[in-house]
Chains A and B, each alone.
Chain A
Amino acid sequence: MRIALAATCLADAMFPQAPQATVRLLERLGHEVVFPPTQTCCGQMHVNTGYFADAMPIITNHVEAFSPVLDDEWDAIVVPSGSCTGSIRHQQAMVCRTQGNEKLAVTAEAVAAKTYELSELLVDVLGVTDVGAHFPHRVTYHPTCHSLRMLHVGDRPLQLLRAVDGIDLVELPDAESCCGFGGTFALKNSETSVAMLGDKMTNVRSTGAEVLTAGDYSCLMHIGGGLSRTRSGVRTMHLAEILASTRTEPAQPPTVGDPGTDRSATSIEVSTR
């Protein structure tokens, strides 16, 4: 298949390892991946904060960047993010209509109909659950809210993870609880957000996992930010990174927060031992 990649703005700038892994994975499975270069963002942050008018130029850009899929330029669009897929599928057309642009709404709906979150693409469109990955680590999975309740990806990510060779997949207690990110909620209601984050981190650490994985780097940035602050020893990886990992090309070791050079962390690490 010829698959267009929507890298998402956050991963493009901050977490390129997720779209890179998506490319490696899909190419390994024999597909051609294309990166439409005019893409930027789906507009989710503006929409969810209530700035519909300011979201319009972003949504317009997204729809134009990916509209070649309607001319069969590509067979499908893949997004390594549940919440961005959710925004593309459930919000873009709605916002276009509130702003009086029915034409764009119709195009947005057509593009969205060919847009898939990574686990949806793999399981539903490509029909694979065993992608030939090898990842010999203890892993726990957080089903992000929008993957779970907006896209209803169900256990697709877990089907994919269970098929990974060497993985020690452990269940995350209270997995379906929100981590407290919520986009601008994390700033506007930062204290409530942190209260939710604290409980999520407690559950993550209770599993004894080395790696927390999810299908969305926005949630991983939040939980990972807390796990890093508390020097928990748990790292975060996108689902795509685990699925892209093989014996010959194992996932890169973590580089964040080398404790040897981080004096400020010493006292915390000692006290939590």
Chain B
Amino acid sequence: MSTFLGMPSLAAPGASRRGPAADQTGADRTRVGDDVPHPDAPLRWGETFPDAARAALNNSQLRRNLAHATSTIRAKRAAVVGEVPDWEELRTAGSDLKVRVMADLPALLEEFEKNFTARGGIIHWARDAAEANRIVADLVKATGETEVVKVKSMATQEIGLNEALAAEGIAAFETDLAELIVQLADDMPSHILVPAIHRNRSEIREIFLERMEHTPEGMTDAPRELAMAARAHLRRKFLAAKVAISGANFAVASTGTLTVVESEGNGRMCLTLPETLITVMGIEKLVPTFEDLEVFMQLLPRSSTGERMNPYTSLWTGVTPGDGPQNVHLVLLDNGRTNALADDVGRAALKCIRCSACLNVCPVYERVGGHAYGSVYPGPIGAILTPQLTGSTGHSDPNNTLPFASTLCGACYEVCPVKIDIPSLLVHLRARTVEEDKARHRPTAWGAAMKAASFVMADSTRFATAEKGTAALRLLAGKKKRVTSLPYPGSLWTGARDIPAPPKETFRQWWASTHDDSPTTPEDAS
């Protein structure tokens, strides 16, 4: 059986995976592009990274869209970061603040709770996605409403809130333009900041024409026309909504203040017009004091959208009588964060402020896009965050392939506004995966090869003997002086790259024949 988009049906009931936008315009429609159907687990979609990447690499439209979009954002970021004389000091300050937050998290959370509650807000604690979804669904039901508007939020993506609400008969409408595009297409986000980065404007026009109500006649794919059509559509939702759901970029412990940073003003609409506001936020989003926002408000816009300042920054502290939402809730979400916090190296991933600069500079992300990571958190940050949030379910867990989805080129670390040493964390998580296999006494081909190589490479006599083995490769190279084809697994290399014929003489042989009269060994030195 296939779903209405022609995608294969997943294990769970299809209805629970579809957004309300899908249901409102009927089920008999053609498939739009290479959309990814909503998974049951937003942090683990199913395929290993190499398998998912293989499919993505073959999508020429995706490759072009991504190359264009990432290079544009990269250039914008570089320009606005380059004009800040104390950028490195800001990065250090951002990193230090977040390290402090991780160290003092229990106390800061309690301080925040006290201050938020004192101003009329209501705090809810959720250990995992199911608890958070339950809490939000119950809060919405208590209002009697069946429709909510949403501010773009990674936390609610992470817990699959829209799908959980749909299962309870509640329609959640995304109001961020890119998130709207993704929702209308019944697709999944492929980027943290620009979730529809894998779409170009002609694809977006097609999605609007097929899926959005009241699109103007003769709408072209000019960005302004697309934006105006979405604006008209969203305005009706804003004015009718009684309940809004948001995430939060920062929460100030000393004042009990929540912050949303955005570009389109849809957030401001959602945060001010409805009667009830429900925010879902990861527990790591705290900053100690109001002054600390100064650092992050400089780091975030320049790193994410490549702007000196984002157009809309909304801050709210509990309830303001007679102004804005009068029922203000906050769901504090763990969902694996305390597991990451318990790992003294891995916890650095919790410093992340979701700017997505690491995605835009990543040469792997640029080629394969976000869907290949099988998580709502793609790219370098996703490769270190996702496996920590989910934990490993065993050797065949696709999330175990994520830390290996990198050349360790270091471009991500260089741009990270809070100095997360992503390459080092990737290596750390690779080692964790290897250790888990060992602990389960699960032999692997890689493990055997590495053990054998370790034996050979730890001793110069054994190594020199092994070097003679390259003679076989030289034979294979023959007169061509290049090896062009090897059996598996060598074919993984020779499929696209030659190997030059190995030299007749290794370096140490050359050295012995040219410099042998002056041997200097550790023994001689003593």
Q: Which residues of A contact B (CB under 8 A)?
A: 7, 9, 11-17, 19-20, 23, 33-41, 43, 45-55, 57-58, 60-61, 64-65, 67-68, 71, 73, 90-91, 94, 98, 145-146, 148-150, 176-178, 180-197, 221-222, 224-226, 228-229, 255-258, 261-262, 264-265
Contact = CB atoms under 8 A, between A and B. Distances in A.
B470 interface: yes
Contacts of A192: 50, 53, 57, 364, 367-368, 405
Contact of B363 (A37, A180, A183): A180
Interface in B72-97: none
Contact of A257 (B431, B453, B481, B510): B481
Given A23-B515, A57-B454, A57-B458, 10 more contacts: A14-B500, A65-B460, A145-B408, A145-B411, A188-B50, A190-B493, A192-B53, A229-B498, A255-B481, A262-B479
A50 B434 contact: yes
A178 B411 contact: yes
Contact of A50 (B57, B431, B498, B506): B431
B427 A48 contact: yes
A58 B454 contact: yes
Contacts of A64: 522
B482 A257 contact: yes
A141 B518 CA distance: 35
A162 B495 CA distance: 36
**A-B interface, 5 closest residue pairs, ranked by CB to CB distance from nearest:** A182-B407, A225-B497, A50-B430, A57-B458, A149-B410
Interface string B428-467: 0111111000100000001100110111011110010001
A40 B367 CA distance: 35
A54 B433 contact: no
18 contacts: A12-B506, A40-B458, A40-B460, A46-B453, A51-B431, A52-B434, A58-B457, A65-B522, A145-B410, A145-B411, A148-B410, A180-B407, A186-B492, A188-B404, A221-B499, A225-B498, A226-B496, A228-B498
A224 B455 CA distance: 29
Contact of A54 (B54, B451, B495): B451
A264 B480 contact: yes
A199 B422 CA distance: 24
Given A16-B507, A37-B508, A40-B457, A182 B498 contact: no
Interface of B: 49-50, 53-54, 57, 363-364, 367-368, 403-411, 413-414, 424, 427, 429-434, 438, 446-447, 450-451, 453-455, 457-460, 463, 467, 470, 479-482, 484, 489, 492-493, 495-503, 505-508, 510-511, 515, 518-522, 525
A187 B493 contact: yes
A273 B421 CA distance: 45
A273 to B, nearest CB: 19
B508 A35 contact: yes
Given A41-B463, A262-B479, A182 B450 contact: no
B243 to A, nearest CB: 43
A195 B363 CA distance: 10
Contacts of A182: 406-409
Given A9-B463, A187-B492, A16 B506 contact: yes
B423 to A, nearest CB: 8
B407 A145 contact: yes
Given A61-B459, A145-B407, A145-B408, A35 B430 contact: no
A70 B420 CA distance: 33
Contacts of B433: 50
Question: For A11, A189, A229, A256, which residue has the most chain B Cβ atoms within 10 angstroms?
Answer: A189
B453 A190 contact: no
Contacts of A261: 479-480
Given A73-B520, A98-B431, A264-B484, A191 B57 contact: yes
Contact of A185 (B57, B407, B434, B521): B407
B460 A37 contact: yes
B458 A37 contact: no
A40 B506 contact: no
B198 to A, nearest CB: 16
A54 B450 contact: yes
Nearest to A150: B410
Contacts of B432: 50
Contacts of A38: 460, 521-522
B429 to A, nearest CB: 8
With most chain A CB atoms within 10 A of its CB, the pick from B481, B515, B519 is B481
A56 to B, nearest CB: 8
A45 B525 CA distance: 29
Given A187-B489, A190-B492, A195-B57, A226 B409 contact: no
B88 to A, nearest CB: 12
Nearest to B461: A38
Contacts of A186: 492-493
B498 A257 contact: yes
A35 B407 contact: no
A16 B453 contact: no
B496 A197 contact: yes
Contacts of B53: 189, 191-192
